[in-house]
Structure 1
C-alpha cells in the first residue's frame, strides 16, 4: 500500500475538508474543520492529508508539546479515514507509518493519543499497534494511551 502524508495547505485544504467519517462515528472525532481551526490557532499541530498514491483517503494531526514536564510529549491526536475508504486497511497502514514518522521527526520513543470512551474499533487498532491505556484522561475526559 503506497501511503504518504502531505501537509494541509491552501492547495489541498478544500479537499481535506470534504473528508467524513462513517455514520455513527461522528462523535468519536472532531470534524476536520475543527481540527484545522485548532491547528491554525496553535502552530504546534501538524495537520496532514493521508494519500494512497494521489488519492486523498484520510487526515491526521500530530504535534509536540513542551508543557508536559519534564521532557514534553508527542501527540498523535487525530486519525481519520474517509468513509469511502474504511475497512480497506488504510487506517492500520497510516497508523504504522505515522508512528515511524513521529519517532524520526521528534526523536522520541513515547507517542501519546487519546480515545473517546466507546470507540472500541480505534482502541483495538491502537492496542494492536503497541499502545496501552495509561489509566489517565485528558482535559476532555478521553482515555490516554501511550506507545513506547
Structure 2
C-alpha cells in the first residue's frame, strides 16, 4: 500500500476539514480536523499532512517539527476518514511519517491514544511504539518509538 503525505494548503484545507471519524469514534478522536488546522496557526511546531492514496484524500495527521524538553518528537493526531478505515492507510501513513521524521535526526517519537481505542494501541505496537507507563496520563496512554 502506498500513501503520500501532502502539506495541508489553500488547495486542500477545506477538503481535509470534511474528514470524519465514525460517530462511535468521537470519544477517541474528539477534536475535528478543523480544530487542528486552527491550532497549527498558533503552535509553530505543528506540521499538518493530508494523507492521500491514488490522489484520493483518505486521512489527516499532525506531527511536531521540534522536540519537547526531553528530546521527544510528538505525533498529536492521526485519523483516517470513516469511509477509508480498515484498509491499511493508517499504518502506511505512520510508516511514511516515521521515515520522514527519522531523516530529520529525530530519534524518539511519542504518540498517545485514549485507553478505549484498542485498535490504535495495536496499530502503534505493531510499528514498534511501546507503552512507557502503566498509568494513563491526561486521559491517554503514551507510547514511545525509539529510532536507532
Tell me if TM exceeds 0.5: yes
Structure 1 position 16, deviation (Å):
0.3
Shift of 1:40: 1.1
Closer/same/farther in 2, CA of residues 103 and 11 from structure 1, 3 Å limit: same
Q: Which residue pairs with 2:40 in the alignment? A: 39
Residue equivalent to 2:24: 24
Residue in 2 that maps onto 1:146: 144
Report if aligned partners of 2:67, 2:74 keep a CA contact under 8 Å in 1. Answer: no
Secondary structure in structure 2 of the residue aligned to 1:24: helix
Q: Which has the higher strand share?
A: 1
- 1:41 aligned counterpart, secondary structure: coil
What is the match of residue 81 of structure 1? 80
* C-alpha displacement of 1:67: 4.0
1:124-143 CA distance string (max 9 Å, x none): 100011011111655x3312
- Report the 3-state secondary structure (helix = DSSP H, G, I; strand = E; otherwise coil) of the residue aligned with 2:76: strand
Q: 5+ unaligned residues in a row in structure 1: which ranges? A: none
* Separation (CA, whole Å) in 1 of partners of 2:141 and 2:28: 12
Q: Which runs of 5+ in 2 are unaligned?
A: none
TM-score (norm 1): 0.90
**RMSD of the TM alignment (CA)?**
1.5
Match of residue 131 from structure 2: 133
Give 4+ residue runs of structure 1 displaced > 3 Å after superposition.
Answer: 64-67
1:2 shift after superposition: 2.6
TM-score by length of 2: 0.90
Partners of 1:9 and 1:41 lie apart in 2 by: 16
